[in-house]
């Protein structure tokens, strides 16, 4: 066995950085040709461009990021924060919706040459003030979110939902929350439901405020009582408890009609569809025979329950794509008057919300 001499506390010297001239020498091409090939510029044949790129990959060449930042005047870093989870800064990664939105935002940004920096919700300005952020994505800010205020005061562009519309330095991508909830309620009404109940988060975000208002207006238009239960917090536990409250009925209601068991349940507060379905069964409901069920969810398990659960998708990947396109237009092309983008939602109708006599179901087009 060969004895390995100890480091004696000394760090290993860094490996020498591969330079552009080293790649050029190895490929037998000029430094200018290598630079053009790696930057996607110049009039080069596909063979020459591929040879240059393959040589650079094989040698481990990396462009000088500091020099690039100096030339471009940007750090190519995007901050990312979820305003709704200010009390539990990192819990949003447990949410299928925010996990997919975060992953899509990071992947889309990277394709456009930007890296995403995760920031805790409710963060103090001192925690991000020294970071060279070109912009910050604030997903689902709460009302009067201090992070939004601090970022705008620091002249850092903010990309968020429609709550920032009209504010200098702020840009938005959103979904039609009112249209989405009306579409879901119209669907269960078409299936015969007359006593829907809605479970929503106790949240001040624009999305949930619009959902609550749309539900009230829908109930008034159809002459049905407003039945809403607010979840005490995010996560499966509080939402399932709210579902149980919604399904046990309001025994203090003024009329027998208001006390009657609900025949449709729209769960807007995010929870696991299998757990929601399990809660309905524990309380003696058959789905869809006694109760039509729709969940606002990106959880793929909804397709594999028995029966499969109808979901209202907010299409986080589409939101991320539209948001980053807007961001790049502002940062790189000076499009300071960028219009907001409204992303269509999608109601995926499955057996949980279709009466047994109407067996045909499918995915509705975006609304």
CA–CA distance, 90 with 80 (Å, rounded to integer): 12
Together in a domain, 38 and 98? no
Identify whether the C-beta of residue 266 lies closer than 8 Å to the C-beta of residue 226. no
CA–CA distance, 271 with 192 (Å, rounded to integer): 25
Together in a domain, 81 and 30? no
Task: List beta partners, residue 224.
Answer: none
Helix (H, G, I), strand (E, B) or coil at 336: coil
Task: List beta partners, residue 200.
Answer: 230
Together in a domain, 144 and 36? no
Query: What CATH number corresponds to the domain at position 185?
Result: 3.40.50.2300
- Residue 329 placed within a domain: yes
Together in a domain, 84 and 148? yes
- If pLDDT is split at 50, 70 and 90, which confidence band does 72 have? very low
CA–CA distance, 29 with 132 (Å, rounded to integer): 36
Mark which of 11, 39, 63 sits at the end of a domain.
63
Query: What CATH number corresponds to the domain at position 46?
Result: 1.10.260.40
**What pLDDT, on the 0 to 100 scale, is given for residue 69?**
47
- Residue 362 placed within a domain: no
Together in a domain, 309 and 190? yes
Together in a domain, 121 and 146? yes
**Domain ranges, residue 52:** 20-63
CA–CA distance, 17 with 62 (Å, rounded to integer): 8
Per-residue pLDDT reduced to its tens digit, 73-118 = 567 899 998 877 656 655 778 889 999 999 999 999 999 989 999 8
**What pLDDT, on the 0 to 100 scale, is given for residue 359?**
46
- Residue 358 placed within a domain: no
- If pLDDT is split at 50, 70 and 90, which confidence band does 252 have? very low
**What pLDDT, on the 0 to 100 scale, is given for residue 9?**
52
- Residue 359 placed within a domain: no
Q: Where are the beta strands (DSSP E) in 181-252?
A: 196-201, 228-231
- Residue 15 placed within a domain: no
Together in a domain, 129 and 181? no
**What pLDDT, on the 0 to 100 scale, is given for residue 71?**
46
- Residue 363 placed within a domain: no
- Residue 88 placed within a domain: yes
Q: Which of 105-114, 117-126, 143-152, 177-186 has the lowest mean pLDDT?
A: 117-126
Domains: count for the chain: 3
Together in a domain, 275 and 183? yes
Together in a domain, 113 and 204? no
Q: What is the pTM of this model?
A: 0.77
Q: Which of 251-260, 299-308, 332-341 has the lowest mean pLDDT?
A: 251-260
- Residue 9 placed within a domain: no
């Amino acid at each position: 066995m060969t004895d390995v001499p100890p480091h004696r506390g000394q760090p290993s010297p860094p490996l020498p950085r591969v330079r552009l001239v080293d790649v050029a020498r190895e490929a037998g091409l000029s430094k200018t040709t290598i630079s053009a090939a790696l930057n996607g510029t110049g009039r080069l044949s596909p063979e020459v461009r591929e040879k240059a790129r393959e040589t650079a990959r094989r040698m481990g060449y990396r462009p000088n990021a500091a020099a690039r930042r100096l030339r471009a005047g940007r750090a190519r870093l995007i901050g990312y924060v979820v305003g709704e989870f200010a009390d539990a800064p990192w819990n949003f990664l447990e949410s299928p919706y925010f996990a997919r939105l975060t992953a899509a935002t990071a992947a889309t940004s990277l394709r456009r040459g930007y890296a995403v920096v995760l920031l805790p919700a409710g963060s103090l300005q001192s925690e991000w003030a020294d970071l060279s952020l070109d912009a910050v994505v604030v997903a689902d800010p709460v009302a009067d979110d201090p992070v939004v205020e601090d970022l705008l005061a620091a002249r850092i562009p903010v990309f968020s939902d429609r709550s920032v519309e009209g504010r200098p330095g702020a840009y938005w991508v959103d979904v039609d929350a009112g249209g989405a909830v009306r579409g879901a309620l119209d669907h269960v009404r078409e299936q015969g439901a007359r006593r829907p109940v809605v479970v929503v988060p106790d949240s001040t975000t624009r999305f949930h405020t619009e959902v609550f208002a749309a539900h009230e207006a829908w109930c008034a238009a159809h002459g049905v009582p407003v039945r809403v239960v607010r979840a005490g917090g995010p996560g499966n536990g509080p939402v399932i408890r709210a579902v149980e409250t919604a399904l046990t009925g309001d025994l203090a209601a003024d009329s027998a009609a208001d006390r009657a068991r609900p025949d449709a349940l729209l769960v807007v507060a995010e929870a696991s569809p299998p757990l929601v379905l399990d809660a309905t069964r524990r309380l003696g409901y058959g789905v869809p025979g006694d109760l039509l069920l729709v969940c606002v969810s990106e959880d793929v398990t909804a397709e594999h329950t028995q029966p499969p659960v109808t979901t209202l998708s907010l299409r986080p990947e589409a939101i991320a794509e539209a948001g980053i396109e807007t961001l790049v237009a502002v940062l790189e092309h000076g499009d300071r008057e960028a219009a907001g983008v409204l992303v269509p939602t999608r109601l995926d109708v499955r057996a949980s919300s279709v009466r047994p006599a109407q067996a045909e179901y499918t995915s509705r087009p975006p609304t």
